[in-house]
Amino acid sequence: MAEEIHPFPSATKSFYPHLQINHFFHFLFFVIGLSLGLITSICYHSFPFISSRPSPYSFASSPPQSQPTTMTVSTGLASPPPSLLVISRSNGTNSNDTSIVSLKEHNVLMHGMKDEELFWRASMVPRIQETPYEDVRPKVAFMFLTKGPMPLALLWEKFFHGYQGLYSIYVHAHPSFNDTTPESSVFYGRRIPSQPVYWGSITMIDAERRLLANALLDFSNQRFILLSESCIPLFNFSTIYSYLLNSDLSFVGSFDDPRGPGRGRYNPRMQPHIRLSHWRKGAQWFELRRDLAVHVVSDRKYYPLFRDFCRPACYSDEHYLPTLVNILYAKTNSNRSVTFVDWSRGGPHPRKFGGVDVTDELLNRIRFGSKCFYNGNETSMCFLFARKFLPNTLEPLLRVAPVLLGFDP
């Protein structure tokens, strides 16, 4: 490991031109340099994050067995920061595979990387399509953008129950939020290093990219869905999983709104990269294919234009992704969101659903009350998730979930 420690060997080397001394001194300096190198190397081993920004929260205390299905494949683990290339195995039966087991790391979500480094790592794409691991199954990344508490967590627990290895969860909460998630929860240890998010500002896009980047580090994640604490699933896990995995398209709402709140928010200073004809609007709640997700975290062309020229009353969360997708991925986008929001009452905020609203009739209207295309065929199953559901909907939702939503009893 000594060759990875730069400060001392290079400092020693730079002395040589100034020292016209005999071989004995050369040898002495070499021994001292080597010793310092070894000592430094040992120090780095003891404090693997010594040079990293202290994380606002640490997942170091979480026992590795809390994530039995996740193995870390990495290179150069000894050098800070930790390598985070991850292959998740669908189950742990292949535990003889020492090349993987010996590299099993702490909880994968613990890192001290700044966004710049995180996005760089997440932007890497393997050029060999076939993985060398036989039992890797594609996963859906469920990315929760929250303020903190998750009042509907129990519904999600039931939703995920029994499907380990087919999903991964990421939670972006406010950094000051004090987590009390029990170890038995699927949300335990799934928070990612975060920054405050201010409504309507570019920090919202930053948080979305941070979620995507963390999720991209796991190569098994193939689909990436953004959710909030007020979202609910409308079908059981197996239905949603196959709907997403079998689709050729991303689900990003993207349409041309000729009115003031659409084209009126376009800023001509975004030219020439973004012209008015490129400009699109859509709901924030996206679902992305992996190739598009990689492009979003590695975008250095369009993001700065939104950061600088899309300020209220222009909201990046309503325009950045719809426009980016329209420019780069129009052919692989469905132009619709799979997350239902009720804007039918007008006004600046969507309808909030409370406990008394939760009926079979309402849920079935959301589940099957629209028309759209899925893989080229018309269908009435357009939404997989819905918002905004208030905390007091938990109890009625848990009651209808087994039969109506088809959750495992």
Ligand X SMILES: *[C@@H]1O[C@H](CO)[C@@H](O)[C@H](O)[C@H]1NC(C)=O
Using CB under 6 A, pick the residue from 4, 157, 395, 408 that binds ligand X: 408
Furthest-apart CA pair in the chain: how many Å?
A: 91
Listed ranges 68-76, 113-121, 305-313, 331-339: which one lies at the site for ligand X (CB under 6 A): 331-339
Shortest Cβ contact with ligand X: which residue?
406
Using CB under 6 A, pick the residue from 312, 330, 360, 369 that binds ligand X: 330
Using CB under 6 A, pick the residue from 4, 135, 248, 395 that binds ligand X: 135
Binding to ligand X (CB under 6 A) within 239-258 occurs at: 239
Listed ranges 6-14, 90-98, 101-109, 292-300: which one lies at the site for ligand X (CB under 6 A): 90-98
Angle at 231 between CA 229 and CA 236, to 5 degrees: 125
Using CB under 6 A, pick the residue from 335, 337, 339, 393 that binds ligand X: 335
- Structure tokens that stand for 111 in this block: 């890192």
Q: How far is the CB of 27 from ligand X (least distance, A)?
A: 48
Q: How far is the CB of 96 from ligand X (least distance, A)?
A: 4
Q: How far is the CB of 190 from ligand X (least distance, A)?
A: 19
If the CB atoms of residues 83 and 220 are measured against ligand X, the closer one turns out to be 220
Q: How far is the CB of 259 from ligand X (least distance, A)?
A: 18
Spatial CA neighbour of 144 closest among 203, 198, 214: 214
Q: How far is the CB of 150 from ligand X (least distance, A)?
A: 15
Q: How far is the CB of 364 from ligand X (least distance, A)?
A: 11
If the CB atoms of residues 326 and 393 are measured against ligand X, the closer one turns out to be 326
The reply to whether 70 sits near ligand X by the rule CB under 6 A is no
Q: What is the 3-state composition of the chain as percent helix, strand, coil, each rounded to the nearest 5?
A: 40, 10, 50
Using CB under 6 A, pick the residue from 228, 230, 334, 393 that binds ligand X: 334
Q: How far is the CB of 408 from ligand X (least distance, A)?
A: 5
Which residues, in sequence order, are CB contacts of 141 under 8 Å at separation 6+? 167, 168, 169, 170, 215, 218, 221, 223, 224, 225
Listed ranges 42-50, 100-108, 327-335, 356-364: which one lies at the site for ligand X (CB under 6 A): 327-335
φ, ψ of residue 288 to 5 degrees: the values are -120, 145
| Cα-based distances in Å from 42 to 5, 6, 51, 105 | 10, 14, 14, 18
Q: How far is the CB of 216 from ligand X (least distance, A)?
A: 24
C-alpha span between 275 and 326 (Å, rounded): 11
Burial class (CB in 10 A: 0-12, 13-18, 19+), 380: exposed
C-alpha span between 68 and 95 (Å, rounded): 11
Contact indicator for 214, 123 with CB cutoff of 8 Å: no
Which residues, in sequence order, are CB contacts of 408 under 8 Å at separation 6+? 158, 161, 162, 236, 402
Binding to ligand X (CB under 6 A) within 165-194 occurs at: 176, 178
- Structure tokens that stand for 20 in this block: 């016209």
Using CB under 6 A, pick the residue from 35, 61, 238, 242 that binds ligand X: 238
If the CB atoms of residues 152 and 384 are measured against ligand X, the closer one turns out to be 384
Using CB under 6 A, pick the residue from 96, 98, 99, 102 that binds ligand X: 96
C-alpha span between 315 and 201 (Å, rounded): 7
C-alpha span between 94 and 238 (Å, rounded): 24
Listed ranges 36-44, 89-97, 286-294, 298-306: which one lies at the site for ligand X (CB under 6 A): 89-97
If the CB atoms of residues 80 and 406 are measured against ligand X, the closer one turns out to be 406
Burial class (CB in 10 A: 0-12, 13-18, 19+), 116: exposed
φ, ψ of residue 13 to 5 degrees: the values are -60, -40
Q: Which amino acid is at 98?
A: T
Which residues, in sequence order, are CB contacts of 94 under 8 Å at separation 6+? 100, 134, 135
Contact indicator for 139, 222 with CB cutoff of 8 Å: yes
If the CB atoms of residues 222 and 254 are measured against ligand X, the closer one turns out to be 254
If the CB atoms of residues 107 and 323 are measured against ligand X, the closer one turns out to be 323
Number of residues that bind ligand X (CB under 6 A): 20
Binding to ligand X (CB under 6 A) within 336-355 occurs at: none
Provide the binding-site residues for ligand X, judged by CB under 6 A: 90-91, 93-94, 96, 135, 176, 178, 236, 238-239, 326, 330, 333-335, 375, 377, 406, 408
